[in-house]
Amino acid sequence: MHESSDVRIRPLALFVIGLFVAVVVVLGAMAGLFRYFAANQPRPRIPPSPLVAARQTPPEPRLEAAPVERLRALRAHEEAVLGSYGWVDRRTGAVRIPIDRAMELMVQRGGPKK
């Protein structure tokens, strides 16, 4: 037993088959069209510029070849500067001292006066 309001299978199956056939026909037509366009592509009449083949360096900033190593070297240099004695400006007598020593001196002298 079945109800009379059930979906009729035959029209539904014909629709699905028709849709499948339409998709196959459209895909075949598109493949043929692409083959036609590839075969009939216009050829350039003017030869390409010789500058195309010349390798040009891109403008700054450029990508770094080894960014991790450069960052490590930069940090090592900064640590060396921050942890050593040296002249900042000999004319004015400005010197640099290690951070640890500067903190010790600040504690001994009582810090900045307000």
- 61-98 pLDDT, tens digit each: 888 888 999 999 999 999 999 999 999 999 999 999 99
Instruction: Give residue 59's pLDDT.
Output: 84
pLDDT digits (tens, 9 = 90+) for 24-58: 999 999 999 999 999 988 877 888 777 777 777 88
- Model confidence at 114, pLDDT cuts 50, 70, 90, reads low
Tell me which residue of 98, 95, 106 sits closest to 82, measured CA to CA.
98
Q: Name the residue with higher pLDDT: 6 or 59.
A: 59
Cis, peptide link before residue 61, omega less than 30° from 0: yes
Q: Provide the residue count of the chain.
A: 114
- Mean pLDDT calculated for residue range 1-30: 89
Identify the sign of the CA torsion 21, 23, 25, 31.
negative
- Model confidence at 60, pLDDT cuts 50, 70, 90, reads confident
Q: Name the residue with higher pLDDT: 77 or 2.
A: 77
Does residue 3 carry a pLDDT above 70?
no
Q: Are 79 and 71 in contact (CB under 8 A)?
A: no
